[in-house]
Amino acid sequence: MAEVSVGTSGLPRAGAGFGGGLDFARRRWRVGVHGAYWLPRRHELASLGQPGASVLLSLGTIRARGCGVPGGARVEVPMCLALELGGMRGVGSGLPINGAFTGLWSAVVASPGLLVRLSTRVALSLRADAALAITRPTFTVAPLGAVYQAPRASLALALGLELRLGPSR
């Protein structure tokens, strides 16, 4: 499966991401591993008395998920639960000392979705991800202290194309 996403996914504001993964599927369930990269977003520090200063934040993740899959032959409704781990990277800009830091991101993700078969081997997918963070990276800048902490909850929408291999179901 290959997909593009729009959402926050732990970063400062909505933006885009892309990813892909592999699932092992049967008629009523599926398990899989998926990876994603969320494009960098700038978090301005002007409100903290640092005009022109910012932190550029990005996120790379890997997710293990399991799904129950109600639905028929043409339309499926996967109801998934996943554990997501990743690295959130922040790079300072416009500061007296510009540094970089990568912090651990982890979350539990609930993902209801919709799969529509376009042919026996190709399906279009739409999914909503609601993530609840377990660990939230915090980025600090001396002497300001903490300038950004990943939020406790985030939302994203993903649109994808699934190629189905193996015997037809």
Q: What is the DSSP letter of 33?
A: E
Neighbour-count burial of 42, counting CB atoms closer than 10 A to its CB (0-12 exposed, 13-18 middle, 19+ buried): middle
**pLDDT tens, N- to C-terminus, the chain (169 residues):** 899 999 988 898 899 999 999 999 888 999 999 999 999 999 988 877 778 888 999 999 999 999 999 988 899 999 999 999 999 999 988 877 778 899 999 999 999 999 999 999 999 999 999 999 999 999 988 777 888 999 999 999 999 999 988 776 5
**Full set of structural domains in the chain with CATH:** 2-163 (2.40.160.20)
Q: Distance of CA 114 to CAs 1, 77, 117, 163, Å?
A: 14, 5, 10, 15
Residue indicated by tokens 């922040």: 90
